[in-house]
Amino acid sequence: MKNKTSKMPIFLDYNATVPMRIVAKKSILEAIESPLNASSVHSLGREGRKKLEHARETLAQHLGIPASQIIFNSGATEGNNTVLQHFSNDKVITSAIEHPAVLEAVKNAIQAPVNTEGQIDLSALEELLIKEKPALVSIMAINNETGVIQPIKEASALIHRHGALFHCDAAQALGKINLNMQELGIDFLTLSAHKVGGPQGTGALAIGFCGITPTLLHGGGQEKSARGGTENVAGISGFGAALTETLASMDQEQERLKNLKDKLETELVKIEGITIHGQSAPRANNTTLFSLKGTSSDTLLISLDLDGFCVSNGSACSSGKVKISHVLKAMGVDNTLASATIRISTGWKTTLDDIENFIEAFKKIAARVAQ
């Protein structure tokens, strides 16, 4: 069915990108009104620097680290590559369910397994730590496909006990769970602005108290020589504005999204052939990854798109092709079921009407498949 209230499609793909928040748009527009280069010493340069430092302080307070340990960049992909390539001559362990921005950055990394619910197997991880003696371990905070929350604090304690450093891709976690780096024991943390309603192409690498500052891009004194290149003042300003609004209503918003998820999943499990992946594990309140037996992701995505719904089959792929998820493979899901999977991810603009419209449309699609 088409969206009853608007010709615009119903967007349920927030894990891919979040619609930009109004405050972020306003902040960006204000910043691009003037030629703000934060490295310049004149008044406009100082204005640009002020915007950068305000955003840096906002993020640092949330992460529980000094503002000087925030390095702005183009996003989590750059941050992941910055950290992982710094350790390219050392042994590195990643989880088997990491985003390609981690897995492709260190192709010779040792992969730690996850259980059938999609959480890192801590016993298996410890065995690898003892055997391989890595310099770095990379485990994401929240999986972008399943929404499963990883046991970060427990993993970091284990990793540090065996003498390794800990990198965490937290692109999906900002504004959803606690990310205090000291409390969680995170040495390197990577983020993207567009996952909280900021602009695409902006992000940050946050460094804990390990005493190491990985550097990927050289060529200038920007970001205290940790990341060469003129800072994206407008993008970073938008990031700070979006983050401020996200954090101000974080608890209430997470409760609202949990109610939407509960509504969705209560109705989904009534449909014969539905499997919700990672259902018994702690999950982000905005994410549901599920399969419908007897169909395919392609069929479901096309049918829902025709009905006016923007959803995904998991990780957004630059090729635009639907592929069987490496995350589901790592969880032991068979290929037939994995190839019949879609992901619903919600956010700040999602309404109860959106969820109810989706449920109604999906039930009709499932009924056609069952015939």
Token pair for residue 260?
A: 């939407």
Integer Cα distance of 322 and 91 in angstroms: 32
Integer Cα distance of 266 and 290 in angstroms: 13
Integer Cα distance of 84 and 78 in angstroms: 10
Active site residue 210: no
What domains sit in the chain, N to C, each tagged with a CATH number? 10-20+250-370 (3.90.1150.10), 22-248 (3.40.640.10)
Q: Which of 168, 210, 310, 317 is catalytic?
A: 317
Integer Cα distance of 92 and 133 in angstroms: 9
**What global pTM score does this model have?**
0.94
220, 42 Cβ separation under 8 angstroms: no
Integer Cα distance of 302 and 309 in angstroms: 9
CB crowding 26-53: b at 16 or more within 10 Å, else e: ebbeebeeeebebeeeeeebeebbebbb
How far is CA 198 from each of CA 100, 121, 254, 319, rounded to the nearest angstrom?
Answer: 22, 33, 18, 24
SS3 content of the chain, % helix, strand, coil (to 5): 40, 15, 45
One pLDDT digit (tens) per residue for the chain, 371 residues: 445 445 689 999 999 999 999 999 999 999 999 999 888 899 998 988 899 999 999 999 999 999 999 999 999 999 999 999 999 999 999 999 999 999 999 989 999 999 999 999 999 999 999 999 999 999 999 999 999 999 999 999 999 999 999 999 999 999 999 999 999 999 999 999 999 999 999 999 999 999 999 999 998 889 988 999 999 999 999 999 999 999 999 999 999 999 999 999 999 999 999 999 999 999 999 999 999 999 999 999 999 999 999 999 865 554 455 678 999 999 999 999 999 999 999 999 999 999 999 999 999 999 988 76
Integer Cα distance of 31 and 50 in angstroms: 11
Q: For position 315, what pLDDT does the model report? A: 59
- φ/ψ (deg, to 5) at 13: -135, 45
Token pair for residue 143?
A: 């999986």
Tally the residues of the chain. 371
